[in-house]
Amino acid sequence: MKAIWKSENWGCSSNDAVQQATNERNAALGRLQELQESLAAQANNGDRGTGDGVKISTEAQTDFIGVQDGIDLAASSCLQELKEEVSRISQRLDEEAASRQNAEMKCQRLEELVNGFQKRLNGLNNSF
């Protein structure tokens, strides 16, 4: 009997979704790494940012929040957003992998049922 289900024959949508989630996660991790390095360099230099807009924004926020000097709030919030994005993408990747595994199990079960029905039909046809 020809196999109905083969894992190599997955539709493009499932593979593409997993690949896209992996690419997005890797890109976000790269941006996260760059920001962490940038923040570390700024902390070592005591730098508060390069643009006047960033300095003004940082100073306005530190007045209300009471943040220590040397921390770039714009970069820090961007870093937090990237961490959240990495978390969301990782969760999405895990969900896609679980969904694919679940679909594969269902298809294997369906293939077993089809094989059973085919054997029954062959048995009925042979008895006549």
Span 36-72, pLDDT tens digits: 888 878 777 765 544 443 443 344 444 444 444 455 6
**HSE-CB for 42 with a 13 A CA cutoff:** 19
Structure tokens at 122: 């062959």
Which pTM does this prediction carry?
Answer: 0.41
- Give the span between the Cα atoms of 39 and 36, in whole angstroms: 5
The larger pLDDT score, comparing residue 94 to residue 19, is at 94
Contacts by residues 110-117 (CB-CB < 8 Å, ≥ 24 positions apart): 110/4, 110/5, 111/3, 111/4, 111/5, 114/4, 115/1
Structure tokens at 9: 């024959």
pLDDT score of 107 = 94
The larger pLDDT score, comparing residue 57 to residue 75, is at 75
